[in-house]
Amino acid sequence: MQMQIGKVYHQEFQNGERLYVRIIEQFANGRFKGLKTYGRAKPVQRSVDPTIPFWIETAESDIPKKLR
């Protein structure tokens, strides 16, 4: 999957929890900078590896308010 700046992606875990990330920019090495949030945690800026196969594009209606 090709990630795009400005879109929100998530990973689903076996316990039903989701990790969300809003892509902010792309680095020269192909990784992305994004705002990540998990559960009730506040969003923090982290590096995102787009080669991990578990990223799913999040529908607009499922995006958490803290990442809108």
CA distances from 17 to 4, 5, 34, 37, 66 (A): 23, 24, 19, 11, 16
For position 39, what pLDDT does the model report?
Answer: 84
For position 11, what pLDDT does the model report?
Answer: 95
How confident is residue 65, by pLDDT bands cut at 50, 70 and 90?
Answer: very high
Record the pTM: 0.91
Q: Where are the domains of the chain?
A: 8-67
Alpha-carbon distance of 41 to 51, in angstroms, equals 24
CA distances from 16 to 29, 34, 38, 46 (A): 32, 22, 12, 22
Q: What is the pLDDT of residues 9-22, one digit of tens each?
A: 999 999 999 999 99
